[in-house]
């Protein structure tokens, strides 16, 4: 029986462990935390004061036959198939799957650590997200700056979701006329992918949100409450909610060349094998794949790896399918793939409802029980199909 | 252009959302004045993005070329 070691305790790792056939594989999950967090929930804690119950015990999300080891992995020797933990435990494997995620790295931008510590963020912990809510709830006027601090962002729609939900909150509280909302991004337009930008740019304008594009955050001057860009621009703030840069987990690899400069694992974008070594795959946020860092990606990548481990044909197509909250009860989806550009997907209440429903079905989805449904849904919403349907609708009548 | 100029090749072919501009922004962050960035992409929208980026950041588009399998944009960094 093949011994599969999965390093990580997020959605990709958990789903994969649930998927692997117990008759073929002896599966072990090793994770630093006993808890599993539904990470998209942080957005709603930060901007809607949602309840903090977004974690479950990882052990209970895994089938009984899967071994769960709560240890912090510090060294992975991909040549010798050996893994060492902080507590000195050594694990060996036949095949390893690296699902180690990313972590925030505010220290990479001068002043950002201080700003995130002061006002919170919605990409790390429940406490940090609650801090965002406390500061937002105290706003009586002034300038609120929300934006993306670096080019790589976990959950790419989330910076915009933050500013849209903040606007909804301010309007509901009757604070809109006394508050200026500024959104900044290093990209040439509010959302990098054009299909979705065509949807959100008019919404931002209609809601009176000032947008600063090509604003690549260089530093934060906390004494003068001003952020500066590499391009030489500045924005003063009273409240700054800045999505920090992200880097890979602090694990030492042998060979070290499997990591890029952001400590992301250099992964073949189709086979999901770690470049240059045998018997190693990487999935989810931990990879350097040119696609969105999001739970749905980790899930789809885990399916590909499960196929590959079972010696079946497997190829990842780069599919993204990220829900995006546009506030006021509406949402859209960011749908694309390596081969198909992001689709212009009309906002609707149904899309918003589906995002809200995911928060409820997430835990079941990790068990793989919903995958027959997901498979059909993803086939029906393939970006190529949606684009063809739209082209058909737009064709003038003969 | 002198051959000695440091040139960073950024391969952003077949990238899905958020796309090649992410890689350009990353390369720009690491660059210094005088560097040359060569961006490869298959997304046709990259041409307009690169021009807009260069205009905004006051850097130079040396060339944008359609090749058989990709678009190659060469940028010279004048401002950091």
- Position A199 in a domain: yes
Q: Which alpha helices (H) appear in B1-80, and where do they start and end? A: 20-30, 46-57
Note if B17 is an active site residue. Answer: yes
List the 197-256 stretch of A: residues with Cβ below 8 A of B.
Answer: 213-214, 216, 230-232
Residues A115 and A239 in one domain: yes
Q: What is the DSSP string of A101-167?
A: -EEE-GGGSTTHHHHHHHH--SSS-HHHHHHHHHHHHT--SEEEEEEESSS--BSTTHHHHHHHHHH
Is the separation of the CB atoms in A152 and A246 below 8 Å? yes
State the ipTM, two decimals: 0.73
* Sequential pLDDT tens for chain B (80 residues): 445 567 899 988 877 655 787 788 888 888 999 999 999 998 878 898 899 889 888 899 999 999 999 999 999 999 88
Residues A240 and A121 in one domain: yes
* pLDDT for A87: 98
- Condensed to tens digits (0 to 9), the pLDDT of residues A339-382 reads 888 899 999 999 999 999 999 899 999 999 999 999 999 999 99
* pLDDT for A391: 61
Segment among A125-134, A174-183, A246-255, B64-73 with least mean pLDDT: B64-73
The whole-number average pLDDT for the span A98-121 is 98
Instruction: Identify the residue with better confidence: A139 or B26.
Output: A139
Measuring CA to CA, how many Å separate B43 from each of A195, A319, B40, B52, B55? 13, 16, 9, 15, 20
* pLDDT for A398: 39
pLDDT above 50 (res A77): yes
Nearest to B17 among A152, A231, A291 (CB): A291
List the 2-31 stretch of A: residues with Cβ below 8 A of B.
Answer: none
Query: Which domain, by its residues, includes A78?
Result: 2-104+247-309
Residues A334 and A372 in one domain: yes
Residues A277 and A328 in one domain: no
Q: How far apart are CA A378 and CA A373, in angstroms?
A: 9
Q: Please report which confidence band the pLDDT of residue A250 belongs to, taking 50, 70 and 90 as the band edges.
A: very high
* pLDDT for A395: 54
Tell the residue number behind the tokens 């929300």, with chain if given.
A146
Rg for chain A (alpha carbons), in Å? 21
Give phi and psi for A61, each to the nearest 5.
-95, -5
Token reading at B46: 């990259």
Is the separation of the CB atoms in A246 and A153 below 8 Å? yes
Closest chain A CA to residue B51: A188
> If DSSP codes are grouped into helix, strand and coil, which group holds residue A229?
strand
The verdict on B53 touching A (C-beta cutoff 8 Å) is yes
Min Cα distance B3 → chain A (Å) is 25
The topology (CATH level 3) of B7-76 is: Translation Initiation Factor IF3 (3.30.110)
Residues A128 and A199 in one domain: yes
Of B3, B4, B16, B17, which residue is the catalytic one?
B17
Is the separation of the CB atoms in A283 and A99 below 8 Å? yes
**Chain B residues with CB inside 8 Å of A193's CB?**
17-19
Residues A136 and A234 in one domain: yes
- Position A166 in a domain: yes
Residue ending a domain, among A257, A281, A309, is A309
- Position A135 in a domain: yes
- Condensed to tens digits (0 to 9), the pLDDT of residues A202-216 reads 999 999 999 999 899
Residues A268 and A240 in one domain: no
């Amino acid at each position: 029986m093949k011994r599969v070691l999965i390093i990580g305790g997020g959605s990709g790792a958990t789903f994969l462990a649930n998927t692997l056939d117990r008759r073929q594989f002896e599966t072990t999950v090793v994770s630093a935390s006993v808890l599993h967090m539904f990470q998209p929930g942080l957005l709603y804690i930060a901007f809607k004061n949602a309840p903090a119950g977004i974690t479950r015990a990882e052990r209970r999300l895994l089938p009984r036959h899967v071994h769960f080891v709560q240890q912090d992995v510090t060294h992975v020797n991909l040549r010798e198939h050996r893994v060492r933990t902080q507590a000195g435990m050594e694990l060996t494997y036949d095949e390893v799957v690296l699902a180690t995620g990313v972590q925030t790295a505010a220290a990479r931008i001068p002043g950002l650590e201080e700003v995130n510590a002061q006002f919170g963020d919605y990409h790390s912990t429940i406490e940090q997200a609650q801090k965002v809510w406390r500061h937002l709830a105290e706003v009586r006027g002034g300038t609120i700056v929300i934006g993306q601090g670096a080019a790589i962002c976990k959950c790419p729609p989330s910076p915009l979701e933050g500013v849209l939900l903040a606007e909804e909150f301010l309007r509901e509280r009757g604070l809109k006329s006394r508050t200026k909302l500024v959104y900044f991004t290093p990209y040439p337009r509010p959302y990098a992918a054009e299909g979705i930008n065509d949807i959100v740019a008019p919404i931002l304008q209609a809601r009176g949100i000032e947008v600063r594009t090509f604003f690549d955050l260089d530093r934060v001057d906390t004494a003068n409450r001003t952020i500066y860009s590499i391009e030489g621009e500045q924005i003063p703030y009273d409240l700054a909610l800045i999505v920090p840069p992200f880097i890979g987990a602090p694990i030492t690899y042998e060979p070290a060349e499997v990591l890029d400069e952001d400590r992301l694992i250099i992964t073949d974008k189709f086979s999901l094998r770690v470049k240059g070594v045998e018997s190693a795959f990487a999935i989810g946020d931990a990879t350097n794949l040119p696609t969105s860092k999001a739970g749905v990606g980790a899930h789809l990548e885990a399916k590909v790896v499960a196929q590959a481990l079972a010696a079946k044909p497997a190829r990842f197509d780069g599919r993204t399918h990220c829900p995006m909250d546009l506030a006021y009860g509406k949402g859209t989806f960011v749908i694309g793939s390596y081969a198909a550009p992001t689709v212009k997907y009309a906002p609707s209440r149904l899309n918003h409802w589906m995002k809200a429903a995911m928060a409820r079905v997430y835990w079941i989805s990790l068990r793989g029980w919903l995958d027959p449904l997901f498979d059909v849904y993803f086939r029906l919403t393939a970006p190529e199909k949606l684009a063809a349907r739209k082209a058909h609708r737009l064709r003038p009548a003969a | 252009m002198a051959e000695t100029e440091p040139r960073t090749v950024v391969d952003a072919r077949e990238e899905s959302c958020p796309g090649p501009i992410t890689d350009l922004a990353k390369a720009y962050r690491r660059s210094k004045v005088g560097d040359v960035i060569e961006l490869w992409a298959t997304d046709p929208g990259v041409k307009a993005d690169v021009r807009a980026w260069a205009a905004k950041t006051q850097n130079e588009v040396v060339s944008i070329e359609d090749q058989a399998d990709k678009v190659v944009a060469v940028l010279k960094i004048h401002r950091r």
